[in-house]
Amino acid sequence: MTEMVYGSVPVRAAEPVLPKWWRTLDKWTLAAVLALFAIGMLLGLAASVPLAERNGLEPFYYVKRQGLFGGVALCVMLWLSMQSPATIRRIGVIGFLGAFVALTLLPVFGTDFGKGAVRWYSLGFGSFQPSEFLKPGFVIMTAWLMAAAMEINGPPGRLYSFVMTGIIALLLALQPDFGQACLILFAWGVMYFVGGAPIALLTMIGGMVVAAGIFAYESSEHFARRIDGFLSAEIDPRTQIGFATNAIREGGFFGVGVGEGTVKWSLPDAHTDFIIAVAAEEYGLILVLLVIALFALIAVRSLWRLVKERDPFIRLAGTGLACIFCVQALINMGVAVRLLPAKGMTLPFVSYGGSSVIASGITLGMLLALTRTRPQGLIGDHLIKRGR
C-alpha cells in the first residue's frame, strides 16, 4: 500500500570495499610512503653491507630482513587504511595499553644491547622496542580523551591526557630516552593546541618542559654530554657527528657515486640513525631534498584533508599522527646536520629496524584511514550528536 501511494524506492547496491577504499584514499600520501620505503631499501644496499661484514654475515642479510619487515609494515598499513575511524580508535586504545604495559616492564625484562639505555626486549630472533609502538597508540588514546572532553557533560579528558603524558614522558626519560619523551610531549602539545587550548596554558607547559630539561642537564651525565657536544664550536672528527658532517660535505650536490661512499664503514649506526648521511654522501643533496619533499608531502596532504574534517576525534588523531611521524623525520635529519643534539632516532620507513618500520606502517595506516574522504554532513548534526 505504501508503494502505491509514495512509489517504490530503488535500493542502491553497496559499493565494494576495495573500490570504495581506493576512491576515498589519499593516493599522494600512499605514493610518498612507497617511495620512502623504496629509498630505504636502496640505501640499505649500501649502508648495511659493512655491518653484515663486521658481524660475519652474508652481505645482504640486513637488506633481506628489512625487506621482510617492510613487507609486514606495508601489509599492516594497507589493512589499517581500510578500517573505519571507530575501528582505528579501538585498535589504537588496545595497542596503547599493551605498549604501555611493555614500557613499564622494561626495567625488569628489558635489555640495552650494550648501548647504555634499556629500551628493548630481546626475542632471540630479533628485538622489540615498546616506545615505537606506543606512539601511534598514545596519539589515538589522547585524541579520544580530548574529543570526549568536548562533549556536553563529558569527562575531564584534557586533564587525564596530561597526567598520562607526564607518566609516559617520565618512563621514557628514565631509560634514558629523552628524544622519544620530547616527541610524546610535542604530539600532546600539538593536539591540545588544535583542540582549542589557550596560549597562556601552552606557554606555561612549555616553561615546565624547559625547567625539566634544565633539571635533566644538571642531573644526567648522559644528557649533559649530548648538549655540551652540540653546543661545542669544535666537532671531533672521530665522533658519529663528525663522520656524518664530513660525509654530507663530501657528497655535495650529486654525491660521490653509488657504492663509493666511505662513511658507512666508519659509522656504527650508518644503517639506522645516520642513514641520511649515507644518502648525502653517495647520492648528494638531490636525494636528501627528495626525502625531505616526500615527508613534507605527507604532512601537508594529511593536514590539508584534516582541515575539512568536522569530527573532533578524527581531526585530533590525524593531526597527532601526521606530526609525530614527520617530526621524528625532522629530528633524525636535524641531528645528522648538527641542527639538533645527538639523539638515537630512526628515519621512518628509511632506516633499518623491525620495530621502527612496522610502527611506521601502523602510524601511516591509521593516518590514511582517518584522512579518507567521507561525507561530513551539516555542522548541526555534530552539535546534536554531542548533546545526546
**CA dist list (Å): 283 to 257, 286, 297:** 6, 7, 21
**pLDDT one-digit tens code per residue, 299-325:** 999 999 999 888 999 999 999 999 999
- C-alpha 254, offset from chain centre: 29
CB 236 within 8 A of CB 242: yes
Check residue 54 and report its DSSP letter.
Answer: H
Give residue 339's pLDDT: 83
The pairing of strands 121-122 and 127-128 is antiparallel
Predicted confidence at residue 153, as pLDDT, reads 83
130-149 and 157-173 helices cross at what angle (nearest 10)? Answer: 160
Q: Using 50 as the pLDDT threshold, list the residues of the chain that sit under it.
A: 1-9, 11, 378-381, 383-384, 387
The predicted pLDDT at position 179 comes to 83
Write down the pTM of the prediction: 0.88
Supply the pLDDT for residue 1.
Answer: 45
pLDDT digits (tens, 9 = 90+) for 196-216: 877 777 788 778 778 877 877
Helix (H) or strand (E) holding 103: helix 85-104
Q: What's the pLDDT score for residue 82?
A: 94
Chain centroid to Cα 146, Å, comes to: 20
Kindly give, in sequence order, each residue whose CB lies less than 8 Å from that of residue 275, ignoring residues fewer than 6 positions away: 40, 43, 47, 346, 347, 350, 351, 352
pLDDT of res. 139:
96
What residue segments make up the domains of the chain, in order of their start?
21-372
pLDDT score at 14: 66
DSSP 191-207: HHHHTT--HHHHHHHHH
Dist CA 283 CA 291 (whole Å): 12
